[in-house]
Structure 1
Amino acid sequence: MAVFQRGPYWHYEFQMNGQRYRGPCGKGVKSETRARQVESIKRAEAVQRGTPPRLRKAPLLKEAAKEFLTEIDARTAAGTMDEDTKRHYHNGWKQIADTDIIHMRVDRITTGDGASLKFRGGPWSQRAAQQVLSRILNWLAERGVIAAAPRIKRTRAHGREARITEQMQDALLAHMDPDVRDVFLIMLDCGMRPEEVLRMRWEDVHWERDQYFNPYGKTAESRRFVPMPDRMRDLLLNRKDNGSAWVFPSRDVDPKIRARAKDMFAAGKSVRYVSMALDLSWPAAKRIKEGRAGKADDTHRVTVAKQWESAREASGVDSRVVLYCARHEFATTFLEHGGDLATLKKILGHTSISTTEKYLHPGIAGAKELLNRRNKRGLRLVEKRA
């Protein structure tokens, strides 16, 4: 219980089962004793409204998060949640785990506590961590562990403004390995996401229609046809005889690296430690630990990401230009050359047109001609008056 005086007036403040109650005790309250009586009345009213005090202490956030992530893993194993969503929750928790809030009891966490948190990385990483924290607290509220989840404000993350100019494209292509070069060009030609390009299958290429069908995605809009321009068609034809059902097949883990990974697991090292030490993807390291053979899932994704970073560094392109910017560049050039938002929305696989608008980076080059035409008309009017 807590009462305090602010100026001539007394106020009460208390928390019950994760919900915060506070307010003035009234103008007639002149002493601390009377203020505590008012607080007791307010607490009783809260109980009557269905917010009974808990008999057991609420868990620490780190304890609750462990149960939450266990459920996430179980849902992924059961096929009711995809790997990308699971990865989002685990990565977000890694950010949260570096803060002191994990030692707080979940019924004591308030909106102010969430707003005061500082996470590593840029605004997108911070926003992801805030989303995960909010989801954990809502999950606890759904299970009755806390009465209500506090609102966690999200960092405002602006879209990627970096453009990949033709000069940048030439510089990058001059230093690219074949895999990342083809991924980059396909993204520039049809606006697919990097993970969608890396999961392309030959059976989804419609040569007769010059289109590719992307069968993946959480929404119906994500599962869509995209155009296949001549450059993309020629690129795919050059890769066609790769002996695999995949356009970008995964590569086997090197036997020497596989042997080193097994030794590390035998020494008690974790999957995370091995994946970071040997530059393996998490799924690849996990498969080795479990003794499963076959392709190393996602290893080609890690390889392409590193190839992109190497090419960008060698070409001297700004570090803010990431591979995903190729998708944004496609959207911008599509509109600059006469495309419309409705068609672009379908190609990008967006549910809402407002999402499509965020991807655009309209330039001001065309504004000069527009203003010149306007000014010429104004000049003629001035000449007539003269």
Structure 2
Amino acid sequence: MISPAARDALQGWLETQKALKGAADNTLEAYGRDVAGFLAFMTGHKGEMQGIAPLTRIGVTDMRAWMAFTRGENVGPRSLARKLSAVKSFYRWLAEREGFDATAVLSARAPKFQRKLPRPLAPEAAQDLIDTLELQSATPWVAARDQAVVTLLYGCGLRISEALGLTGGDLPMGEALRITGKGGKERIVPVIAPARDAVAHYARLCPFDLRPGTPLFRGMRGGPLNPRAVQKVTEAARTQLGLPATATPHAMRHSFATHLLNAGGDLRAIQELLGHASLSTTQAYTAVDTSRLMEVYRKAHPKG
């Protein structure tokens, strides 16, 4: 149970996240679940409804109890770190609004976890996957659609949500796209010729009116294309090719970044192309590149 005052505070914080930071709906839902779970735990832990005043008195031992309980629910270190980040963000906002010291909450340490490195495909495998997508549907416009979407992910480094957010107003596709990414941030992304050609081919075959303001990529009945449809057809293609389960639509974006880096691309420029808010996110690709170089080194180095 969550007290009405705490629920109102949570809603106010979520609205602030959306208004000031442009947080996506899915992100807001995750934030809401994480903080609501924290508030519900505190109600049980303290044995009473946690209104605003009790929430201002949460101490270090309370935070340790919540984190221990959460770990006991088979929540991994990465997920616990995400939940803690949401709780801290909520408390920063609440402390500023209510004028109390939130040090006990804000000083809680997230568990360490091994950052998962992106799993890019080899350039040949990425191209094979794109080619094989065209063979997964007997309906020509659907085959062209699937190939066009994944070509944009690999050729432009788009997130799947960004590719599916394109509209008929983006046709005919030129040499650059204006993309609105996470947090409502805009960036300009160059569009390589194969991606332009793939989209143009799809647009010629698509049976629906791709007028400005309507989704560019359509489902079978003409509605917006569901991301799951792209994931499923990619699964079928990678199975046909014998590629690992890590060969996902999102891996094509990772492959775009890694292949640019391997070709001598500037890390800061790649950050801009990907729309990463922080360079540290993009720096994960340098670890991928280092891993590849070390593998080559180990194979080539004389063993004495």
Q: Distance in 2 between matches of 1:314 and 1:66?
A: 49
- Is the alpha carbon distance of 1:345 and 1:240 closer, same or farther for their aligned partners in structure 2, counting shifts above 3 Å? same
Query: Which position in structure 1 is the counterpart of 2:179?
Result: 214
**In the alignment, structure 1 residue 130 sits paired with structure 2 residue 77:** no
- Is the alpha carbon distance of 1:62 and 1:153 closer, same or farther for their aligned partners in structure 2, counting shifts above 3 Å? farther
Q: How does 1:19-168 map to 2 (within 5 A)?
A: 66-71=7-12, 81-82=22-23, 83-93=25-35, 96=37, 100-101=41-42, 103-105=44-46, 106=55, 107-110=57-60, 111-116=63-68, 117-118=70-71, 123-144=77-98, 147-149=101-103, 150=105, 151-155=107-111, 156=113, 158-165=115-122, 166-167=124-125
Deviation of the 1:356 alpha carbon: 1.9
Query: Which position in structure 2 is the counterpart of 1:223?
Result: 186
**In the alignment, structure 1 residue 201 sits paired with structure 2 residue 176:** no
CA RMSD between the two structures: 4.1
Superposition TM-score, scaled by structure 2 size: 0.67
Deviation of the 1:115 alpha carbon: 4.0
Query: Which position in structure 1 is the counterpart of 2:256?
Result: 330
Query: Which position in structure 2 is the counterpart of 1:239?
Result: 202
Larger displacement relative to structure 2 (71-80 or 303-312)? 71-80
Superposition TM-score, scaled by structure 1 size: 0.55
Consecutive unaligned residues in structure 1, runs of 5 or more = 1-59, 254-294, 376-386
**In the alignment, structure 1 residue 183 sits paired with structure 2 residue 142:** no
Q: Distance in 2 between matches of 1:139 and 1:157?
A: 29
Deviation of the 1:170 alpha carbon: 2.9
Query: Which position in structure 2 is the counterpart of 1:38?
Result: none
Deviation of the 1:249 alpha carbon: 3.6
Q: How many residues align?
A: 267
Other structure's SS at 2:166 match: coil
Q: Distance in 2 between matches of 1:235 and 1:124?
A: 37
Deviation of the 1:141 alpha carbon: 2.5
**In the alignment, structure 1 residue 364 sits paired with structure 2 residue 290:** no
Higher helix residue share? 2
Higher relative contact order (CA 8 A, sep 6+): 2
Greater Cα radius of gyration, structure 1 or 2? 1
Deviation of the 1:103 alpha carbon: 2.2
- Opposite residue 248 of structure 1, the aligned amino acid is F
Consecutive unaligned residues in structure 2, runs of 5 or more = 47-54, 138-142
Higher strand residue share? 1
- Is the alpha carbon distance of 1:134 and 1:64 closer, same or farther for their aligned partners in structure 2, counting shifts above 3 Å? farther
- Opposite residue 160 of structure 1, the aligned amino acid is L
